[in-house]
């Protein structure tokens, strides 16, 4: 059986995009998926986070990577930069830009995919399969089970505030930026016009800031049950909500996308990056509202 190997990098949201694109390509081509985790050997900011899901993929071994012509990760910044500028071996396909790339579908196998693949156009035709792959099998603990019950009992709206390195790291802040309070007010107003009984469930990596600054005249619950290394649980709870207000974050993108309801309202920021240059026209599904 042919193989699609996908290079994983970044946080949970990025890893989900990478897995989803590879899984869909493999299903179309009758191939198997393997995950290249070698980037995490030199990338200390994030870790591999898909182990909590019943994904259909193996871990690429050193032999697998050698067979496809992938070199071991270069050490040192200069060596890594030079490596990125070198031409890719024949079985490597590096994402050429941020928008959907139809050429991925025609690449010969075996293949090593290197990129972020941030568009549902890579995998929307296998939405049901992927939502099953990305539903944790481990039962909810009592605290999360109680939250899930409250989410089911209300007209729940997940609201995600991404701060963390978007605020603390100057380079990341300049590149990504954060969603303004005006955006959140507009998104809440948009949903309340259509769903007057909305109850907000706020997810964030900065709970103190959200409590101090999100002054919204709406019933609100702050979800603080899960530590940073249990992001998959927050994502699962988000997906259970009826509607969604997402940040400029692949994490809450997935929280909204994993909700299969055709009636969901998803509000998303029109400006995804503070710094221009990325073509984001394929990032948000057409039915989502950009504010």
Residues 4-50 have pLDDT tens digits of: 999 999 999 999 999 999 999 999 999 999 999 999 998 777 899 99
What's the pLDDT score for residue 279?
A: 86
> Are 152 and 176 contained in the same domain?
yes
Q: Which of 65, 98, 132 is the last residue of a domain?
A: 132
* Residue 165 burial (CB count, 10 A): 15
Distance separating alpha carbons of residues 266 and 243, to the nearest angstrom: 6
Contact assessment for residue 112 and residue 91, using Cβ atoms and an 8 Å cutoff: yes
CATH code of residue 179: 3.40.50.11350
Q: Please state, in angstroms and as integers, the Cα–Cα distance from residue 179 to each residue in 202, 224, 245, 246, following that order.
A: 14, 20, 11, 9
What's the pLDDT score for residue 77?
A: 54
- In the chain, how many H helices and how many E strands? 11, 11
- Euclidean distance between the first and final Cα of the chain, in Å? 45
Question: Which residues in the chain come in under a pLDDT of 70?
Answer: 71-90, 164-177, 274-276
The domain total for the chain is 2
What's the pLDDT score for residue 159?
A: 98
> Are 106 and 237 contained in the same domain?
no
Q: Which domain holds residue 219?
A: 141-290
Q: Which of 132, 150, 174 is the last residue of a domain?
A: 132
Contact assessment for residue 37 and residue 59, using Cβ atoms and an 8 Å cutoff: yes
> Are 244 and 125 contained in the same domain?
no
Contact assessment for residue 258 and residue 131, using Cβ atoms and an 8 Å cutoff: yes
What's the pLDDT score for residue 90?
A: 61
> Are 122 and 242 contained in the same domain?
no
> Are 175 and 193 contained in the same domain?
yes
What's the pLDDT score for residue 116?
A: 96
> Are 120 and 164 contained in the same domain?
no
Distance separating alpha carbons of residues 240 and 41, to the nearest angstrom: 34
């Amino acid at each position: 059986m042919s193989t699609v190997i996908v290079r994983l990098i970044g946080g949970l949201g990025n890893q989900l995009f990478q897995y989803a694109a590879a899984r869909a390509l493999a299903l179309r081509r009758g191939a198997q998926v393997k995950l290249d985790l070698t980037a995490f050997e030199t990338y200390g900011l994030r870790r591999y986070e898909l182990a909590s899901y019943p994904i259909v993929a193996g871990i690429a071994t050193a032999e697998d990577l050698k067979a496809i012509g992938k070199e071991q990760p270069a050490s040192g910044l200069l060596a890594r930069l030079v490596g990125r500028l070198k031409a890719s071996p024949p079985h490597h396909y590096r994402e050429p830009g941020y928008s959907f790339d139809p050429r991925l579908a025609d690449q010969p196998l075996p293949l090593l995919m290197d990129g972020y693949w941030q568009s549902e156009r890579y995998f929307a035709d296998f939405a049901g399969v992927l939502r099953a792959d990305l539903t944790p099998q481990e039962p909810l603990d009592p605290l999360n089970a109680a939250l899930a019950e409250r989410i089911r009992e209300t007209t729940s709206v997940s609201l995600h505030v991404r701060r963390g390195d978007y605020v603390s790291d100057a380079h990341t802040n300049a590149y990504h930026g954060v969603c303004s309070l005006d955006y959140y007010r507009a998104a809440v107003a948009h949903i309340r016009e259509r769903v007057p009984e909305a109850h907000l469930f706020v997810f964030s990596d900065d709970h103190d800031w959200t409590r101090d600054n999100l002054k919204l005249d709406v019933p609100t619950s702050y979800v603080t049950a899960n530590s940073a290394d249990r992001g998959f649980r927050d994502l699962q709870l988000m997906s259970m909500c009826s509607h969604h207000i997402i940040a400029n974050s692949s994490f809450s993108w997935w929280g909204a996308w994993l909700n299969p309801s055709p009636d969901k309202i998803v509000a998303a920021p029109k400006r995804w990056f503070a710094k221009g240059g990325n073509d984001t026209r394929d990032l948000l599904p057409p039915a989502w509202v950009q504010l």
